[in-house]
Amino acid sequence: MNRTAFIQVLGAVAYGERKAYEGARARAADAPSEEERQAWRQIAAEELRHHKGFVRRLKDLEADPERAMKPYEPALDRYHGKPPEKGVTAAVHSYLGEGIADDLLRWLRQVVDPETAAFIDTVIEDEKGHEARALAAVREQIAASPGGRREAARAARSMVLQMAGSGGGDIMSFRAFLALGKPHELLFNLSSGYLRRVQSLGLGPLGFLANAA
């Protein structure tokens, strides 16, 4: 295993989990009902556990977690710091974002040591629930919104553009993922996962409507 790439990838994932925790905590604070507030608090607690677990693995490798996370802060801060969205667009971006994180984790567990893979399995179990909740929310938003599928199609396409824009066009930070192992499986997981999720929303490839709404 490429140790340098391993530390870099763990740093990226750890910081992503920190941002997910911060986002869920903010959603809990703004929740319109006690039921939703408790749900987001639970998600925040799980995301914090994930963050701490990846930080622990970095320390086990005698790496500095803050240094490992730092290269990924600008891109993830830009992505998570974009102006808040509402309705269908917000729901689609949340669902696809959860999915991309899940796809990365499923690839990562295949290329790391058994101890890290075992921890990732517990993270994936939590993320299954997060993604299912996000899918239910986006379907509800689409059903309740006039022209909901068309808005979902636009949101699915804009998600790709936002992610590319957050990276600033710099692929250097992604090279660690490719160097860690099974790069073709990583790219396949990300692309096929995106297509599978947009199709689950009744959309075609690249987020275009599969048929007239």
- Average pLDDT, integer, range 1-10: 94
Q: Token pair for residue 107?
A: 């690839």
Say yes or no to pLDDT of 182 above 80: yes
CA distance 213 to 208: 11
- Average pLDDT, integer, range 138-167: 83
What pLDDT does 212 receive? 39
- Average pLDDT, integer, range 116-126: 96
pLDDT tens for residues 58-108?
Answer: 999 999 999 999 999 988 888 887 776 788 999 999 999 899 999 999 999
CA distance 145 to 78: 28
Say yes or no to pLDDT of 118 above 90: yes
What residues have CB less than 8 Å from 52, skipping those under 6 apart? none
CA distance 155 to 41: 26
- HSE-CB of 212 using CA atoms within 13 angstroms: 0
Domain boundaries, the chain: 3-207
Say yes or no to pLDDT of 169 above 50: no
pTM of the predicted model, to two decimals? 0.87
Say yes or no to pLDDT of 208 above 60: no
What residues have CB less than 8 Å from 12, skipping those under 6 apart? 69, 71, 72, 76, 173, 176, 177
Say which CATH superfamily domain 3-207 falls into.
Ferritin, core subunit, four-helix bundle (1.20.1260.10)
